[in-house]
């Protein structure tokens, strides 16, 4: 019986070792952190990708650099900030991500040293392999400065004497920009485009949690009075709206063909695309496939 017990213990240790990813051929958990300016930005740009990572056992964190306390036509300040924080908590539950909201005021984000250190801290503490943020050319100053802050954190996350209270990362992560429509000073380049068709409804679920934004504020700014009253009809309305937002451009389709092949690319209904930031890791195609395990592994 003693020998049987020893054998069982060895088998259990072997299983734990393999599941931890330490064994030969085992992939480690990929850790992704996404920065947005407001408490719905990460969901809009990266909700599908996040759902795919989570479904594969990887870790995703969303960080909003402001509390969103200005984004509404009727309420604001602490009342709105509290409401939007609760919406992010519901998103975290629905998507399976971690969600953090910082206490900068909406519309007042600046690329200060203090904010840069806050970004560096969160990238390090998350032990990020991939960092995602907006490009620093955008219609909204908070979006622009979020991009600047994350750019300024790139490379610094590996410098030990910068924010020495938090251990530096051993390697610079892959830094990526989310897609946008702006052409100047240069248009967005879809270096990596991911098929999110299988999790599109999951992304809609996340966006649906931002009631104050999609059904109230954004509709108001667009003078859209077509938002239904009932929750079910409202969600159908949002799905139709998001379908149009996710129309795949020729550039996106070409990128999909690179990563998925022509036969599959033509069938993709919804996708999210990302541009590689030159300030971070310079990945090979093989490294991109390793970091994006939802892509076909050649």
Average pLDDT, the chain: 92
Predicted local distance difference test score (pLDDT) of residue 1: 44
For residue 100, the SS3 value is: strand
Half-sphere exposure of 93 (CA within 13 A, CB side): 9
Say how far apart CA 125 and CA 63 lie, in whole Å: 13
Average pLDDT rounded to a whole number, residues 195-223: 96
According to the model, what pLDDT value does residue 109 have? 98
Dist CA 228 CA 238 (whole Å):
10
Q: What is the pLDDT of residues 57-94, one digit of tens each?
A: 999 999 999 999 999 999 999 999 999 999 999 999 99
Q: Are strands 59-66 and 98-104 parallel, antiparallel or unpaired?
A: parallel
Which position has the token pair 């991939």? 130
For 75, the token pair is 């309420």
What pLDDT score was predicted for residue 7?
A: 37
> Mind listing the pLDDT tens digit for each residue in 5-15?
433 333 333 33
Could you state, in order of their start, the residue ranges of all structural domains in the chain? Answer: 29-291
Contact (Cβ atoms closer than 8 angstroms) between residue 24 and residue 188: no
Q: Is the peptide bond before 185 cis (omega within 30 degrees of 0)?
A: yes
**pLDDT reported for residue 298:** 77
**Sign of the CA dihedral 223, 228, 230, 231?**
negative
- Residues whose CB falls within 8 Å of the CB of residue 62, separated by 6 or more in sequence, listed in order: 34, 36, 42, 43, 46, 50, 88, 91, 92, 97, 98, 99, 100
Task: Report the alpha-carbon distance of residue 111 to residue 142 in Å, rounded.
Answer: 9
Q: Are 105 and 111 in contact (CB under 8 A)?
A: no
20 pLDDT band, cuts 50/70/90, is: very low
d(CA 153, CA 136): 13
Token reading at 262:
């022509």
Averaged over 249-278, what is the pLDDT? Answer: 97
Q: How far apart are CA 217 and CA 234, in angstroms?
A: 14
The model carries a pTM of 0.90
Tell the CATH topology of 29-291.
Rossmann fold (3.40.50)
87-94: list long-range contacts, CB under 8 Å, 24+ apart: 87/39, 87/40, 87/209, 87/210, 87/211, 87/212, 87/213, 88/39, 88/62, 88/64, 88/209, 90/209, 91/43, 91/62, 91/206, 91/209, 91/210, 92/62, 94/202, 94/205, 94/206, 94/209
What's the chain's length in residues? 298
């Amino acid at each position: 019986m003693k020998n049987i017990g020893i054998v069982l213990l060895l088998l259990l240790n072997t299983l734990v070792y393999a599941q931890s990813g330490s064994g030969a051929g085992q992939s480690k958990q990929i850790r992704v952190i996404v920065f947005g300016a407001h408490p719905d930005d990460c969901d809009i740009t990266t909700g599908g990708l996040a759902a795919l990572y989570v479904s594969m056992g990887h870790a995703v964190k969303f960080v909003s650099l402001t509390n969103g306390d200005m984004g509404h036509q009727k309420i604001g300040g602490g009342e709105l900030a509290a409401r939007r924080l609760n919406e992010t908590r519901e998103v975290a539950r629905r998507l399976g991500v971690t969600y953090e909201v910082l206490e900068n005021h909406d519309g007042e984000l600046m690329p200060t040293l203090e904010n840069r250190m806050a970004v560096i801290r969160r990238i390090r503490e998350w032990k990020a392999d991939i960092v995602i943020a907006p490009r620093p050319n955008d219609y909204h100053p908070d979006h622009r400065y979020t991009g600047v802050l994350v750019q300024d954190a790139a490379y610094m996350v590996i410098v030990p004497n910068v924010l020495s209270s938090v251990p530096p990362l051993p390697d610079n992560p892959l830094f990526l920009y989310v897609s946008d429509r702006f052409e100047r000073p240069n248009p967005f380049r879809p270096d990596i485009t991911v098929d999110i068709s299988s999790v599109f409804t999951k992304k809609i679920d996340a966006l649906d949690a931002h009631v104050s934004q999609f059904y109230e504020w954004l509709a108001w700014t667009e003078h859209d009075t077509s938002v239904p009253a009932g929750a079910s009809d409202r969600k159908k309305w949002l799905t139709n709206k998001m379908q149009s937002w996710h129309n795949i451009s020729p550039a996106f389709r070409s990128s999909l063909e690179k990563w998925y092949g022509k036969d599959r690319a033509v069938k993709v209904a919804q996708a999210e695309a990302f541009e590689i930031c030159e300030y971070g890791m310079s990945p090979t195609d093989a490294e991109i496939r390793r970091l994006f395990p939802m892509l076909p592994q050649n």
